[in-house]
Amino acid sequence: MTVSREVELKGHIIDSGMMQSCFGIIMDMGGSFEVEEFRIGRSKTEESYARLLVEADDPDQLQSIVHELHQNGANPSDPNDARLEPAPADQVVPKGFYSTTNHPTDIRIDGMWVPVEDIEMDCAVIVERDDDGHPYAYTEVLNAIEEGDMVVTGEAGIRVQPPERPRGSEGAFGFMQGGVSSERPSETTISNIAEAIAETKAEGGDVLAVCGPALIHSGAREDLARLVREGYVDLLSIGNGFAVHDLERDLYGTSLGMDTESLDHPRKGHKHHIYTISEIIRAGGIEQAIEDGLVDSGVMYECVQNDVPYVIAGSIRDDGPLPETITDAVEAQNAIREQAHQADLVLMLSTLLHSVAVGNCLPSTTKTVCVDINPATVTQLLDRGSAQAVGMVTDIGTFVPMLAEHLFDER
Amino acid sequence: MTVSREVELKGHIIDSGMMQSCFGIIMDMGGSFEVEEFRIGRSKTEESYARLLVEADDPDQLQSIVHELHQNGANPSDPNDARLEPAPADQVVPKGFYSTTNHPTDIRIDGMWVPVEDIEMDCAVIVERDDDGHPYAYTEVLNAIEEGDMVVTGEAGIRVQPPERPRGSEGAFGFMQGGVSSERPSETTISNIAEAIAETKAEGGDVLAVCGPALIHSGAREDLARLVREGYVDLLSIGNGFAVHDLERDLYGTSLGMDTESLDHPRKGHKHHIYTISEIIRAGGIEQAIEDGLVDSGVMYECVQNDVPYVIAGSIRDDGPLPETITDAVEAQNAIREQAHQADLVLMLSTLLHSVAVGNCLPSTTKTVCVDINPATVTQLLDRGSAQAVGMVTDIGTFVPMLAEHLFDER
Amino acid sequence: MTVSREVELKGHIIDSGMMQSCFGIIMDMGGSFEVEEFRIGRSKTEESYARLLVEADDPDQLQSIVHELHQNGANPSDPNDARLEPAPADQVVPKGFYSTTNHPTDIRIDGMWVPVEDIEMDCAVIVERDDDGHPYAYTEVLNAIEEGDMVVTGEAGIRVQPPERPRGSEGAFGFMQGGVSSERPSETTISNIAEAIAETKAEGGDVLAVCGPALIHSGAREDLARLVREGYVDLLSIGNGFAVHDLERDLYGTSLGMDTESLDHPRKGHKHHIYTISEIIRAGGIEQAIEDGLVDSGVMYECVQNDVPYVIAGSIRDDGPLPETITDAVEAQNAIREQAHQADLVLMLSTLLHSVAVGNCLPSTTKTVCVDINPATVTQLLDRGSAQAVGMVTDIGTFVPMLAEHLFDER
Amino acid sequence: MTVSREVELKGHIIDSGMMQSCFGIIMDMGGSFEVEEFRIGRSKTEESYARLLVEADDPDQLQSIVHELHQNGANPSDPNDARLEPAPADQVVPKGFYSTTNHPTDIRIDGMWVPVEDIEMDCAVIVERDDDGHPYAYTEVLNAIEEGDMVVTGEAGIRVQPPERPRGSEGAFGFMQGGVSSERPSETTISNIAEAIAETKAEGGDVLAVCGPALIHSGAREDLARLVREGYVDLLSIGNGFAVHDLERDLYGTSLGMDTESLDHPRKGHKHHIYTISEIIRAGGIEQAIEDGLVDSGVMYECVQNDVPYVIAGSIRDDGPLPETITDAVEAQNAIREQAHQADLVLMLSTLLHSVAVGNCLPSTTKTVCVDINPATVTQLLDRGSAQAVGMVTDIGTFVPMLAEHLFDER
């Protein structure tokens, strides 16, 4: 017995890689297909369209294939409304709930396609109605589901739209399509990233910097502080270690004096680290320490002085931690999520843990720049289906100064 | 003006590297010294001894040098009692508090040397007296300091003893002294690690396994589960991701069937991941899911069945998380600390985050084995002054099966 | 002005990624296209076919686009014969010569499509005629071109056919399509590689092992020697270092005795290294040393005893070198080329230099397995358009023993 | 039976790590020792001295220990003249020949200590006499030994002197003693390296740059060319790939135009690569191409224009190769050796193969700077006992521009 179903691909079906993926899925999973219609958009603004008849040997196989196609942006050409079921208890989803991708997604309700707000991956989709009875949909992480929430289940009435990848000629992000490489011209790549940041700022967008402690160790602190001061960083996402190291430079930099110049006496490091934490706790926190004049330079200082909101997310390897550090992981995720949803461009600078946490909350349409000296880290961060992600394998200690130079020269 | 002070080195002053460090410190910091006495232990059981007269140009410089020497195990030959000061408030240490190393440490009180219990680095030392008025000392992390705790300050009356490094001929840990290498014979190294584990178990010691999710991805789950079942793992320290992947194999392994055999359909991965979390939450937790018969294989299953205590420490990149995951970082650290203090041998398997967290709580005398495919991770984990740490750059997916083979063959 | 040209895609146009590449090229380079015909092969044996009308703004742009399409397997639908021009001097090609890819390629001569023999990338194509006047074509590296050789120039009459990538269900090489990963089940992957080797041998094919010295350091020597002895390795490609280390184990293994067992006395290594070279030179070479009974174990020994041809290619970091080492790079490349063309499956084991040298000479249709502990090495080796390449990031010291175990168990 | 022998340590016995190594060797190898005399140099110019009585259980063990001590700089206090034996044939050394370390070494002949010229590791030492009958000694690689050469054998009459490591306060190379780190301030480290180069030039020394092709890919070509032009590079050691990429930028940079600016059309790369080789062969070589005006920019161009000698060493992965490439490995090593012996400071920039080849020929006293983005490469290059080696894990594409900036600013 051969069973079949018609599916449609719409939009940037070539540029997004959607068509190639869909053909591959069908053949990998043992199905076959006929191309019933195939129209290529003749210009960048015209959409492409393809209609395939997918065939399989039995209904189960067909359903598996259609499921995978659906994840990759192909939709049945005969949609029904999405099916909604109430959550049976707090944190418990109905069986068969739809788990999101990070691509823009619409839900069909009352015959209309309603966009899902704040799309991010691995969430449930909740549908509510406003006072006028109009439906709206949004994502919810598992631990925030409440009993009775109307959760989308199954796959009917759900439309996923993988975004196109930018072409070389279009804007600052067109410059790097092949993902990561350590064999690209470093300075040109950095200047392109600077341009993308400037562009984002010019359009009124928000830049989120996600930073690891290596940034401080490698001597990039002053340049990052300047980027904050000059308005190129709108949001900061860090861990306890980053903040401690930044503050330690302030508190013990002067007394050590030659340290950052001469690299002398590195042995003293860990003592100052724990003394710094102790002094900040004694002062009552970072903001209090700045207000008291105890701390008067660095990244944290510039954030406080320039009203740049920061999230210090705790982890099990923290010393201290500092009073402002959010020690509960779920609470920290919620703070990170809010930043991620606000950001238009995200710089992931030398931190795998925090970058993954932020990346988990990003839609595939947010511009992302990943910088790390470890190629495996960059690859892992880029490998999330984002259409607008560029990665650079370089030294954060030379990257940030060069980026700053390009940004300040450009003005 | 030349000022000077006499310091003593006792114990394994050559094997531990103490003498070389001390000579280097004095010269790096601009001082000079005379060796007043120098006795080498003629046998392994006899201690060595050196007495140096350290000279500097002024008292400040002398104090800096003596401070550094002290951190490395050299002690003034004319000790006074340690100075104690009360903590002025909760979480606030007295100024100038002594921050610990991870080496065995004694505190001089009432003219006696009292060992510091549960030594770990970057802590304060608290001194109390028991009902008989006898003093005892223990470490406390900054966030657990309570107002009025008597905290050791300054450097007088503190004795640090870096442990010796084992020699080639002594026991299973003598085999690898040069630290990390990817150019050692892999099978022989694994068999030596197996021997060290067997030795620890034979002596009634406890083995703590710290495991990352790559262990599951790489196919080592069944062998680790067997190690738990057969009593080679006494304590398990993991993150939410490890537990989810382990449970996912149980819940969706059967339905996917050929997956682990044929490597088919990897695309489905993330769906099962989030479904697994959802199912475990629905069941009320891991233990309930096992009790209900929902889960009946794997590492978590064997831990529950064999009363092997586990700590699931949360992080900001977790999905879910599972009900048993400790989401608060400080609470999780306390649970980890307890395991770390109990352990006699620690296996750090493919996780940087959790290994650092555990390593932070370990004394330098605990045997440690670090295994990771990234040489930078192994180097970072070994670089903590532990005398008994061996590192191996290898594939966790081949390491665990070979380790299991050696352990089960040996019996 | 809009100019256009019709191109055709034939064969595995989806599975090979050809169609996706071609669409992308046209759009990247500023052209547009219409799909005039599009037929999907309904079964694995039926070919697919697409005919595109490519459009550009001027003839230069059109030619650039068609050039790139051609490199990726799309051919003008109105072919002419290839253009041939004589080489003006030894080692000098005619201007505009066609530089090959590593994909199967045909040249149109006398209206017929003639396959290019021994295809490899970055070569010229020479056309000659046999005694009956029938044309044949083959690749030639630049340094071997002779004055008067008839060299293919331009792009007319050349047909490139990128091979399809295997699907999951087809044979041993279907198992790993996504390239490299350190997060696959290691043992299963190794067993699949063993199966691919067994399959190649069963079909009468030849296995070429390209090995670096880390294989010896990591303790895999005995297992590789056994693979040679048992007929699983038909050709060996190595450097001077590999051979020296293999022989050193034989010559100094016995006297050191416990070395490979106890890992004792690693300091002696470099002395034995240079003594080994000296002893082999004294004996008159490896084969003479084996004949004399000086060497009676190891990989080189098994090669000589079992008539497995080996190439020892010299490099500038060699000590000695050994008498059998080919010190001239061009001469060594020719020896490597011959092995590469004979091989049906190539194992690249822990050597970047030799693997690249062999890889340069391989057609894209030869099965290739790359194993290294450095992910960047594996990525670089796989990134050559081969359709049948699998990479594994693992420890060669555990890989070879496990591979041997699977192969010997399978019989 | 206990046997013993007196050995002496002289010179920088602490700073060089000699004493620590020697104590460790004796204990590792099962011996024991007494310190008979121990004098610490009171100032930097005063030497230290120690005399040990080494004891072992039998003469064989004692000899093994003394051998290892000798390799590390300890010498019997009762020296005899070195033993000389004639080489029995070309390339064949006498049995028991002394294989060199890379440390300064003296040979005792006629009761006098004669320094070994051009010390490098893994060589034989040949002794000859000049016309006045005065002895002199020099190293010779195995493949250059000639029948009848008088070769030093055994260990008597040989004195090895490991150099001291510089302290923080002494000159530009004092800045980095702990070897490699990716967590040092990058800009400060680069400025220290610039200072060391400037210092070397100010003292009339020669700088040898050893460069890999990644330097060109990463966009650092123009800055390196300027360093050559301005006299900061006196010698260049490269491979065929570096030269081809440098020339390709010249030949095809103009026609591609936007390439280095916009990063467009990376696909064309390999065509230009092979075309470049073809054009240079057609011109008759690099120098001819420059003389003809075909090439007028880049690193090779500046070398030719400024009489900076270069060595292009061939390898088995080369395309072409270019006419100036030395394809024979032994001949290339000899050219490299000559450069290495002339150099006072060596920059190893992003190439493992060529850096190892150069490093093999360097005495331990030559200043060496290793820069690579792969930490394992930097570690391997530093791990050769050099006292004056600093390593930096960074991006060559940002390193060279910053280095140039510091050097040109400093004047």
Give me the residues of chain C with pLDDT under 50, please.
Answer: 169-170, 176-179, 254-258, 261-268, 411
Check whether residue A88 and residue A56 sit in a common domain. Answer: no
Would residue B170 count as lying in a domain? no
β-pair type (D3-11, C389-393): unpaired
Mean pLDDT of all residues in chain B? 86
In angstroms, the CA D346 to CA D206 distance is 9
- Rounded Cα–Cα distance for residues B32 and B40 (Å): 22
pLDDT number for residue D41 = 67
Is residue A392 very low, low, confident or very high in pLDDT (cuts 50, 70, 90)?
very high
Coil/strand/helix, residue D20 = helix
What is the rounded average pLDDT of the residues A77-83? 84
* Chain B contact set for C263 (CB, 8 A): 168, 175-176, 184-185, 188-189, 192
For residue C177, the model assigns a pLDDT of: 47
Instruction: State yes or no: pLDDT of A3 exceeds 70.
Output: yes
Partners of C265 on chain B (C-beta within 8 Å) are 168
Q: Is the pLDDT of residue A362 over 70?
A: yes
More confident call, D39 vs D235: D235
Tell me which chain D residue has its CA closest to the CA of residue C121. D270
Q: Identify the residue with better confidence: A394 or D257.
A: A394
The CATH number given to whatever domain includes residue D185 is 3.40.50.10690
- Residue A113 to residues A106, A140, A252, C217: CA-CA distances in angstroms? 6, 19, 58, 62
The per-residue pLDDT for D258 is 31
- Residues of chain A with Cβ-Cβ distance to C167 below 8 Å are 27-28
A147 lies in the same domain as A184: no
- The reply to whether residue C188 touches residue B261, judged by beta carbons under 8 angstroms, is yes
Domain-embedded: residue B138: yes
Other CB atoms within 10 Å distance of the CB of residue A256: 16
Do D93 and D65 belong to one domain? no
| Angstrom distance (rounded) from CA B334 to CA B345 | 19
The pLDDT of residue A410 is above 60 = no
CA atoms within 13 A on the CB side of C66: 27
Predicted pLDDT at C36: 77
pTM of the model: 0.87
CA atoms within 13 A on the CB side of B124: 30
Nearest to C188 among B187, B219, B402 (CB): B219
Of B42, B77, B112, which closes a domain? B77
Q: Which pLDDT score is estimated for C348?
A: 97
DSSP state of B92: B
At residue B174, the pLDDT reads 56
Q: Is residue D327 within 8 Å of residue D349, measured between CB atoms?
A: no
Option in D265, D274, D353 nearest C316 (CB) = D353
Structure tokens that stand for A214 in this block:
């290596």
Q: Is residue C335 part of a domain?
A: yes
Kindly determine whether residue C19 and residue A20, on different chains, have CB atoms separated by under 8 Å: yes
Q: pLDDT tens digits for D220-245? A: 999 999 999 999 999 999 999 999 99
Residue B204 and residue B69 share a domain:
no
Say whether pLDDT at A43 is over 90: no
Q: Percentage of residues in chain A with pLDDT exceeding 70?
A: 88
The answer to which of A10-14, A150-154, B353-357 has the lowest mean pLDDT is: A10-14
C191 with C328, same domain: the answer is: yes
Q: Looking at the partner chain, which of D188, D396, D402 has a beta carbon nearest the beta carbon of A260?
A: D188
From A386's Cα to the closest Cα of chain C, the distance in A is 18
Confidence bin at B258 (pLDDT 50/70/90): very low
State how far the Cα of D357 lies from the Cα of D339, in Å rounded to an integer: 11
Give the best residue of B15, B16, B23, B378 to mutate against chain D (max D CB count within 10 A). B23
Q: For the residues A175-199, what does the mean pLDDT come to?
A: 75
Q: Is the pLDDT of residue A398 over 80?
A: yes
Query: Within this chain, do residues C324 and C275 fall inside the same structural domain, yes or no?
Result: yes
Q: Which domain holds residue B88?
A: 79-163
Quick one: closest CA in D to C373, which residue? Answer: D376
- Contact at CB, C14 and A27, closer than 8 angstroms: yes
Residue pair B216/B239 in contact by the 8 Å Cβ criterion: no
Residue B174 lies in a domain: no
pLDDT given for residue C247 in this prediction: 94
pLDDT value, residue C324: 97
Residues C210 and C93 in one domain: no
pLDDT score, position D230: 96
Give the minimum alpha-carbon distance from A34 to chain C in angstroms, rounded to a whole number.
Answer: 7
3-state secondary structure of D291: helix
Residue A323 domain flag: yes
- Amino acid identity, position A118: D
The answer to whether residue A173 sits within a structural domain is no
Q: What's the gap in Å between the CA of C11 and the closest CA on chain A?
A: 15
Nearest-Å Rg of the Cα atoms of chain A is 24
Do residues C45 and C187 share a domain? no
Residues of D with CB below 8 A from B32's CB?
A: 42-43
Write down the H helix ranges in C74-212.
186-202
**Tokens 């606000």 belong to residue:** A342
Output Rg (C-alpha) for chain C, integer angstroms.
24
Domain boundary among B16, B47, B77: B77
Residue D170 lies in a domain: no
- What are B's interface residues with D at a Cβ cutoff of 8 A? 14-15, 17, 19-20, 23-24, 27-28, 30, 32-35, 38, 40, 42-43, 167-169, 182, 375-376, 379
Find the mean pLDDT for residues B99-122: 91
Question: Using CA of residue C160, residue C165, residue C169, residue C175, what is the dihedral sign?
Answer: positive
Q: Tell me how far apart the alpha carbons of residues C322 and C326 are, in angstroms, rounded to a whole number.
A: 9
Q: Which of B313, B316, B319 sits opposite A313 (nearest CB)?
A: B316
Q: Which of A77, A98, A129 is the last residue of a domain?
A: A77
CATH classification at residue A53: 3.30.70.2690
Are residues D27 and B168, on separate chains, in Cβ contact within 8 Å? no
Is the confidence at residue A252, as pLDDT, over 60? Answer: yes
Mean per-residue pLDDT of chain A: 86
- For C177, phi then psi, to 5°, come to -105, -25
The predicted structure's pLDDT at residue A354? 96
Contacts of A263 in chain D (CB under 8 A): 168, 175-176, 184-185, 188-189, 192
Q: How many CB atoms lie within 10 A of CB C367?
A: 25
The number of CA neighbours under 13 Å toward the Cβ of C336 is 34
| Domain CATH number, residue A102 | 2.40.420.10
Q: Which residue has the higher pLDDT, D180 or D71?
A: D71
Read off the pLDDT band of B32 (50, 70, 90): confident
Task: Dump pLDDT digits (tens) for A368-381.
Answer: 999 999 888 888 88
Q: Are residues A234 and A98 both part of a single domain?
A: no
Which residue in the set C141, C320, C332 is minimally distant from D143, CB to CB? C320
Whether residue A8 sits in one domain with residue A116:
no
Per-residue CA distances from A287 to A233, A301, A303, A325, D253 (Å): 19, 8, 10, 12, 53
Residue D128 has pLDDT above 80, yes or no: yes
Residue C266: what pLDDT? Answer: 43
Q: Which residues of B touch D23 (CB under 8 A)?
A: 14, 40
Contact A92 B282 (CB under 8 A): yes
pLDDT digit string, tens, across residues D187-212: 888 998 999 999 999 999 999 999 99
Count A/B contacts: CB-CB distance under 8 Å.
Answer: 119
**What are the tens digits of pLDDT across the range B372-401?**
999 888 888 887 766 678 899 999 999 999
Tokens representing C35?
Answer: 């799909």
pLDDT in tens, C241-271: 999 999 998 998 733 323 554 444 444 456 7
**Residue B22 binned pLDDT confidence (cut-offs 50, 70, 90):** confident
Question: Measured between CA atoms, how close is C363 to chain B, in angstroms?
Answer: 27
Residue in chain C nearest B394 by alpha carbon? C395
Q: Which residues of B touch C (CB under 8 A)?
A: 168, 175-176, 178, 182-190, 192, 214, 217-220, 260-266, 373, 393-399, 401-402
Residues C320, C181: contact at Cβ < 8 Å?
no
- C173 is a domain residue: no
Do residues B106 and B136 touch, judged by C-beta distance below 8 A?
no
In chain C, the residue whose alpha carbon lies closest to the alpha carbon of D359 is C317
Q: Which chains touch C (3 or more CB pairs under 8 A)?
A: A, B, D
Nearest CA in chain D to A214: D183
Q: List the end-to-end C-alpha distance of chain B, in Å, as a whole number.
A: 67
Quote the number of domains for chain B: 3
The answer on D138 and D94 residing in a single domain is: yes
A12-20 average pLDDT score: 77
Nearest to A372 by CA among D395, B354, C372: D395
Residues D387, D392, D397, D403, CA torsion sign = negative
Per the DSSP assignment, residues forming a β-bridge with A208 are: A235, A346
pLDDT of residue D146: 96
Give me the DSSP letters along D213-226: THHHHTT-HHHHHH
Pick from A290, A269, A199, A274: which is nearest to A240 by CA? A274
- Judge if C293 and C380 occupy the same domain: yes
pLDDT of residue C385: 63
For B185-207, the pLDDT digits (tens) are 888 889 989 999 999 999 999 99
Choosing among B103, B264, B317, B380, which should be mutated to test the A contact, i.e. which has the most A CBs within 10 A? B317
pLDDT at residue number D31: 84
- Residue ranges of chain D whose CB lies within 8 Å of a chain B CB: 14-15, 17, 19-20, 23-24, 27-28, 30, 32-35, 38, 40, 42-43, 167-169, 182, 375-376
Neighbors of chain A by Cβ distance (3+ pairs < 8 Å): B, C, D
CA–CA separation, C407 vs D32, rounded Å? 49
Which chain B residue has its CA at the smallest distance from A314's CA?
A: B329
CB contact under 8 A, A43 and C34: no
